[in-house]
């Protein structure tokens, strides 16, 4: 009945005689012992069995984005039956500190530059970091999307159809999620990687297209942003709107309908993500379909590789332009 033997019994590692095992288990029951303490085990083993998922938004907002759910699907698939837990660390709240989080690896979801110090701390602790669609971070494995390329392809479609007066509705530019016109200043200050890349892609084709930042990736925000753009006589209105997410695009569709603007005759709408928004609209959105599940898989695979001591492979994923019923040549 020594501690070491008990350890052998519970970890099922060493060779233990049946009689001894029984005695140990009996003693455990006697002492109301619940098995090895997870904390002590982590300390000794040097690993916690937990992977951190770091998000820029609040907890619930993060999971309200269908893209992130698909991402989670991917992570879940890849993690499969590795006995790992997911610790969600929202940087927005004053919750747990990333640098002090008990994790074996961290997956960053589109985080901005100011996370660098925490990442450095993790690196010193030899905790591998995977950055999904984030600004390039030293020593983090990057899982990226061709945001700029893809948006450019979408914009070229619009350009090819004859559109010249195009407006852009962007995802949030900063942590404050302030709405409003996107100025050169705001672009310079922004660290929102995805937003900036998609914006750049749109402006590759329409350099002077005005852009308006939304307060989040939701239908309501899309409608709200669209309101300012569409509430004008037809001659002043954009003939097409590039929305940086499908939810925003659906908001645009809804606002257009409310204002009696017919899509795609009076207005073309381009989305991004390729999420199936079942029933939210009768249109089939023209959009850039991103491999969100694949993104999660790649991130989880990289995390597992790093945990196994191998170097995680950086990945660049590509979007596909899906033409729906929301784009057409401009009227007139």
Q: Footprint of DNA on this chain (CB under 7 A)?
A: 1-8, 10-11, 13-17, 19-20, 33, 35-37, 40-41, 43-46
Structure tokens at 237: 């209105």
For DNA, which is the closer residue by CB, 14 or 160? 14
CB of 309 to DNA, least distance (A): 15
Q: For the segment 249-308, give every residue that binds a second copy (CB under 8 A).
A: 250, 254, 278-281
171, 213 contact by CB (below 8 A) = yes
For DNA, which is the closer residue by CB, 21 or 159? 21
The site partner of 105 among DNA, a second copy, none (C-beta below 5 to 8 Å per kind) is none
Quickly list H helices, the chain: 3-11, 18-31, 38-45, 59-64, 66-79, 116-124, 147-161, 184-189, 193-205, 219-230, 246-258, 292-307
193, 112 contact by CB (below 8 A) = yes
Stretches 74-82, 154-162, 182-190, 260-268: which one binds a second copy (CB under 8 A)? 74-82
Question: Binding marks (x or -) toward a second copy, 30..49, rule CB under 8 A?
Answer: --xxxxxxxxxxxx--x-xx
Residues 290-305: b if buried by 16+ CB within 10 A, e if exposed? bbbbbbbbbbbbbbbb
* Spatial CB neighbours of 66, under 8 Å, sequence gap ≥ 6: 247, 273, 275, 277
Beta bridge partners of 53: 88, 107
- Bridging pattern class, strands 180-181 and 211-213: antiparallel
DSSP 8-state secondary structure symbol assigned to residue 65: S
The site partner of 89 among DNA, a second copy, none (C-beta below 5 to 8 Å per kind) is a second copy
For a second copy, which is the closer residue by CB, 239 or 290? 290
212, 152 contact by CB (below 8 A) = no
DSSP 8-state secondary structure symbol assigned to residue 162: T
Q: Among candidates 252, 247, 304, which has minimal Cα distance to 272?
A: 247
Stretches 1-9, 66-74, 151-159, 314-322: which one binds a second copy (CB under 8 A)? 66-74
For a second copy, which is the closer residue by CB, 76 or 228? 76
Binding residues with a second copy: total (CB under 8 A): 61
116 lies in the binding site for a second copy (CB under 8 A): no
For a second copy, which is the closer residue by CB, 43 or 232? 43
Write out the residues near a second copy by the rule CB under 8 A.
32-43, 46, 48-50, 58-60, 63-64, 69-70, 72-73, 75-76, 79-90, 93-97, 99-102, 120-122, 124-125, 219-220, 250, 254, 278-281
């Amino acid at each position: 009945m020594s501690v070491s033997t008990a350890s052998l019994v519970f970890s099922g590692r060493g060779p233990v005689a049946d009689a001894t095992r029984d005695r140990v288990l009996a003693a455990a029951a006697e002492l109301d012992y619940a098995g090895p303490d997870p904390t002590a085990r982590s300390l000794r083993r040097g690993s916690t069995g937990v992977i951190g998922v770091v998000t820029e938004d609040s907890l619930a907002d993060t999971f309200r984005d269908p893209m992130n759910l698909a991402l989670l699907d991917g992570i879940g698939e890849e993690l499969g039956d590795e006995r790992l837990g997911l610790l969600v660390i929202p940087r927005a709240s004053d919750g747990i500190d990333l640098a002090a989080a008990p994790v074996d690896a961290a997956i960053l979801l589109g985080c901005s530059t100011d996370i660098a110090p925490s990442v450095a701390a993790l690196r010193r602790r030899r905790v591998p970091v995977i950055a999904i669609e984030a600004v390039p971070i030293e020593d983090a494995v990057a899982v990226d999307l061709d945001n700029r390329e893809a948006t450019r392809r979408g914009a070229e479609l619009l350009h090819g159809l004859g559109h010249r007066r195009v407006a852009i509705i962007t995802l949030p530019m900063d942590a404050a999620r302030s709405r409003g016109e996107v100025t050169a200043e705001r672009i310079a200050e922004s660290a929102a990687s995805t937003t900036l890349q998609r914006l750049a892609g749109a402006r590759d084709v329409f350099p002077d297209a005005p852009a308006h930042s939304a307060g989040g990736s939701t239908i309501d925000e899309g409608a709200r942003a669209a309101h300012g753009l569409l509430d004008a006589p037809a001659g002043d209105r954009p003939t097409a709107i590039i929305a940086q997410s499908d939810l925003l695009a659906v908001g645009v569709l809804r606002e257009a309908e409310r204002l009696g603007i017919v899509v795609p005759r009076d207005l073309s709408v381009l989305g991004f993500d390729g999420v199936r928004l079942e029933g939210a609209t009768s249109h089939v959105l023209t959009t850039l379909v991103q491999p969100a599940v694949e993104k999660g898989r790649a991130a989880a695979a990289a995390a597992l590789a790093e945990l196994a001591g191998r170097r995680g492979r950086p990945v660049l994923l590509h979007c596909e332009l899906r033409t729906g019923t929301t784009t057409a040549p401009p009227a007139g």
